[in-house]
Amino acid sequence: MIRRDDTLRPDKHKSSESIKAVAIYEVVKGVGALLGACALWLWHADIDNWLTRATDSWRQNFGHFLAPQIESSVRIAQQASKNWPLFLLLIFAYASLRFIEAYGLWQDKTWAYWFGVVGYGIFIPIELYYLIASPFDWFKLGILITNIIIIIVVYRNMKRKGLL
């Protein structure tokens, strides 16, 4: 009996390396969210003092690099400290979604591809608006480009798998 060499043809039931990279990116985002949750849990009672020290340290080491993002994060953290149990719940929900999507992509699940395209695609118009409406920001541009690349990667893999 003649066997075909499966290494010569693409496997429609195996995640590509690019999809695995997106899955790893999702895990990194989930871990980052959990680290933020830990910080909120540990320092919610003294968040203003901690944020002051952290931003002073950032400015000493990095100057004004990412200053708008740091200021925005500080405002969010201050708001979160006022209702920290709710924010912890939201952070855990966000991290859970990231981990579920990462698992689905790594396991080559159809629902994860759709989840990724819709999840990233829905923010593109918002990111474009803020990039145009507010002063230019390299960080925002980087996020937009990253999200577009991820959509392209997932879309191409969806086409390869015959999902489109």
DSSP letter string, 65-100: TTHHHHHHHHHHHHHHHHTHHHHHHHHHHHHHHHHH
- For 136, the domain range is 17-159
Q: Is residue 5 part of a domain?
A: no
Return the pLDDT at 9: 43
Q: Is residue 2 part of a domain?
A: no
Q: What is the mean pLDDT of residues 116-143?
A: 88
Higher pLDDT, 164 or 156: 156
Mean pLDDT across the chain: 85
In angstroms, what CA-CA distances link 85 with 1, 44, 45, 93? Answer: 64, 10, 12, 12
Return the pLDDT at 14: 67
Confidence bin at 104 (pLDDT 50/70/90): very high
Q: Is residue 8 part of a domain?
A: no
How many domains, in total, are found in the chain?
1
Q: What is the pTM of this model?
A: 0.73
Q: Is residue 41 part of a domain?
A: yes
Q: Is residue 164 part of a domain?
A: no
Q: Is residue 57 part of a domain?
A: yes
Return the pLDDT at 51: 80
Q: Is residue 109 part of a domain?
A: yes
pLDDT digits (tens, 9 = 90+) for 4-62: 444 444 555 567 899 999 999 999 999 999 998 898 888 877 877 878 888 888 888 88
